[in-house]
Structure 1
Amino acid sequence: MTDDRDFRQLPGRLSANAGSDHRTPYTTFDWPPALPGDEYWFSPELLSVHGTEYADELSDKQLCALSRWESVNFCSLTIHGIRELLIEVARRVHTPGFEVPSESFHRLAGEEHEHMGLFAAFCLRYGGRIYPDDKLRLPSAGQDPVLEDFLAFARILVFEQIVGHYSGRLAADTRLHPAIRQLNRIRHQDGSRHIALVVRLIRPLWERLTEAGLGEDGRRATGRCLSEYLRATMASFYSPAAYRDAGLADGFDLRKRLLDHPARQAAHAQVLHETTGFLDRIGVPVTV
């Protein structure tokens, strides 16, 4: 990566793309005192019950309540994903092999730290809680540092593209309160630049692995590891705690039934198609 001329130019392009209108959420975000309890806080088409018979069984009032808590859950997931991103980036900034992207890492970390504070403020102001991170931690890849680097940035890409899919939809949904749209617009605009950086990192890391002799077994093992992460991340959108807070009974059973539902599995494939398409193009076999 240190000899890649195009990559050396990337930090400047990313900074230029941020534009002069880049805002600090702490100082410019206008928090309303409350959000209407009888309106959607999350697009109905993004709810975890959408497209299933379970959605048909809920009244509009129940769907609005579910949207409130799934909005809080989405913000909580974003907070936890950002925390993991910051940890992985901090481990690599100004280390051998990452000299060139370190300038971009600083900007990425600053923006992500602001997003974490913004999403935490939303959860605490309007939900009174941040849901805990209950996603299972995947085992370490072992002693190969290049493989560890690749998996770290591949997981960041998964996180950024999933959150980007949701935040882009939420930012454009005129049924939602302007504060919710603004929150997600900030996230989506910055996240698009972060994705560009991470994609540019992943390609040479994967090429380095294959050139070093990563065999078919190693390629498949890497694909299985990322497939598990993809599925675990999507499963996080089905929160028994959010179902409980929305007044729905048997949240754990509902979660299982929804995760097994063909309509929800199709929705997952739609959310993940950019990520799985990219990984497939570079030769990483993943399934959802």
Structure 2
Amino acid sequence: MHSVLPEHSDEFRTLLDRLSEKATADYYNPFTTFDWPKALPEDAYWMSRELLTVHGTEYADDLTPDQLKRLSRWESVNFYSLNVHGIRDLLIEVMRRVHTPGFEVPSEFFHHFVGEENDHMWFFATFCLRYGGKIYPEKKLRSPAAAAQPDPRIENFLVFARILVFEQIVDHYNAHLAQDAQLHATIRHINALHHQDESRHIAFGRRLVHLLWDELTASGIDDRVRQDIRAYLRRYIAHSVESFYSPAVYRDAGIPDGFALRQRLLAHPARHAAHQRVLRKTTDSLVRMGVLDA
């Protein structure tokens, strides 16, 4: 396999060198950075009220302040659990490609990426286990690429497109949580550090995905394949958003009939508007690249 995007290597190397230098300058040791309190206050919010899955609906009005705070605790644990699973998956995919034919140019940056994501997975898992006593299990969306589209160019594109979607959705939450003065300092700190690192990963991901898509379309993929790729990414985006609506979370928060509540919330116009806000950067960037239709 030829090197990824050789005609763009100078421009791409310049970006990667700048991001690598920033990663070195921003380096921290996660094992000494955090001062983990023995417990977090249960009479406080652990997730911003604006980010709760019931926000903007009549179902939020039906809950008492104590119930909303309890929901925020478990939705917080679910959010960090989603990060643990998402990071594990992206680490596996990136490690499969580091220092392999075709990925010579980004492999040096991959080392920063892998090291930082491993740190992120550790501190998100630590939060879940310390303050929630568990990590919520993963609900995966199977990729059809391996069976239906064995072309490695399509597989590579889908891998890094999924990583970009995941990181941009998570970063929307990180940026908000890091600035919410009502949250405990530990919660703000975790999200601020993750947002700091993800800003580099997203800059890298946007450029790589764009270039991989340009290379893929220039190779002459037919319209059916193009539509299959778009349909899969739309399903992946929807699945990612729907993962925030967890019947297990509602059960742990003491809210009855979590499966029915999940369905009602996913159909609610206020939640659709919230999803558009969460996904705006994700969908805008993919539309600009020509990956998704406007």
Offset, 1:21? 4.3
The two structures have a TM-score, normalised by structure 2, of: 0.95
Structure 2: distance between partners of 1:31 and 1:66 = 22
Q: What one-letter code is carried by the residue in structure 1 that aligns with 2:126?
A: A
Q: Would the alpha carbon gap of residues 40 and 137 (structure 1) be closer, same or farther in structure 2, given more than 3 Å must change?
A: same
Please give the residue correspondences for 1:73-112 in structure 2 after superposition, counting only pairs within 5 Å: 73-112=78-117
Question: How far did residue 215 of structure 1 move?
Answer: 2.4
Q: Distance in 1 between matches of 2:29 and 2:176?
A: 22
Structure 1 residue 108, shift from structure 2 partner: 0.3
CA positional deviation for 1:139: 2.0
1:247-269 deviations in Å (ceiling 9; x for gaps): 00001111111111111111111
Aligned position for 1:2: 6
User: So what's the TM-score if we normalise by structure 1?
Assistant: 0.97
Tell me the distance in 2 between the aligned counterparts of 1:269 and 1:37. 31
Alignment of 1:28 with 2:72, yes or no, is: no
Gaps of 5+ in 2: none
Cα distance in 2 for residues equivalent to 1:211 and 1:284: 13
**Do 2:77 and 2:128's aligned partners in 1 also have CA atoms closer than 8 Å?**
yes
The one-character-per-residue Cα deviations of 1:88-107 (angstroms, maximum 9, x if unpaired) are 10111111221010001111
Alignment of 1:40-59 (within 5 A): 40-59=45-64
Runs of 4+ in 1 over 6 A off after TM superposition: none
Give the CA deviation at 1:134.
Answer: 1.4
- Aligned partners of 1:284 and 1:20: how far apart in 2? 34
Kept after mapping to 2: 8 A contact 1:135/1:236: no
Q: Does 1:247 align with 2:254?
A: yes
Aligned to 2:217: 210
Percentage of pairs with the same residue: 60
Give me the CA root mean square deviation: 1.3
Aligned-pair distance for 1:18? 2.9
Q: Aligned match of 1:15 in 20, 26, 36?
A: 20
> What is residue 276 of structure 1 aligned with on the other side?
283
Q: What SS is found at the alignment partner of 1:255?
A: helix
- 1:261-288, Cα deviation, whole Å (9 max, x unpaired): 111111111111111111111112268x
**Is 1:236 paired with 2:243?**
yes
Contact 2:145/2:154 (CA < 8 Å) preserved in 1? no
Match of 2:193 among 168, 186, 190: 186
Work out the CA distance in 1 between the residues paired with 2:46 and 2:165.
24
* 3-state SS in 2 of match to 1:34: coil
Q: Secondary structure at the match of 1:187?
A: helix
- Which of the numbers 156, 164, 168 marks the counterpart of 1:161? 168
